[in-house]
Amino acid sequence: MSRLQWPRIVDRAADIVTSYDEVGSCTLRQAYYRLVAAGLIPHTAPTYRRLSARLAQARREERFPELIDPLREVHAPPAWPDAGAFLRDAPDWFGLDRTAGQTTALYVACEKDTLRAQLTGWVDVLSPEVGAASAAGGGAAADGVGESLAAPGGESGVRG
C-alpha cells in the first residue's frame, strides 16, 4: 500500500461511524475492519494503533463522532433534580414483564459487550432482553448468559 492518506481515512471512518447512527454507533475495531476491507489501510497492529490515535485526536478536536467504548462508560444510577422531575419521568420507566405467563420468550445474547449497544438498537422494536458475556469464559460465558436470562424455574435456550 502506498503512503496512507490519513485525512481521507479519518473522513471515511467518520462516514462509517455515522452510518451506524440508527443503532447508536460502532466500535473502533469495527471501523478499522471496514477500512481494511475497503482497502484503505493495511491489516497491521501499527496501523490499528495509528488509526486509534488519529481518531482520538479528531474526537478531541470535535471533528469525529463518538465511538462505542463500554470499557470507558461511567455507569451511574439515574438521578433527578427534584421529585417533580422524577414524577414526570416515572411513566417512561414503567413496564410490564413481557414474558409473564409465556412459555417462550425471546432473548438476544452476544459474546462481546461492545455489540450490546448495536443489538439493542437493531431489535428495540421487539423489546427483547439483550445480554453480553465475555469471550474469556468460552462456552461457560454463554451458559452464564443463559442462566441469567432464564426465567425462574425456566429453561434457557442459549447454547454455547
pLDDT at 160: 45
pLDDT at 132: 64
User: What are the backbone dihedrals phi and psi of residue 69, each rounded to the nearest 5 degrees, phi first?
Assistant: -145, 80
Mean pLDDT, consecutive 10-residue stretches, the chain (160 aa), reads 85 93 80 94 95 94 85 73 93 80 76 68 66 54 53 50
Q: Which three cell numbers stand for residue 36?
A: 481494511
Question: What is the three-state SS of the chain?
Answer: CCCCCHHHHHHHHHHHHHCCHHHCCCCHHHHHHHHHHCCCCCCCHHHHHHHHHHHHHHHHCCCCCCCCCHHHCCCCCCCCCCHHHHHHHHHHHCCCCCCCCCCCCCEEEECCHHHHHHHHHHHHHHCCEEEECCHHHCHHHHHHHHHHHCCCCCCCCCCC
User: What are the backbone dihedrals phi and psi of residue 108, each rounded to the nearest 5 degrees, phi first?
Assistant: -120, 125
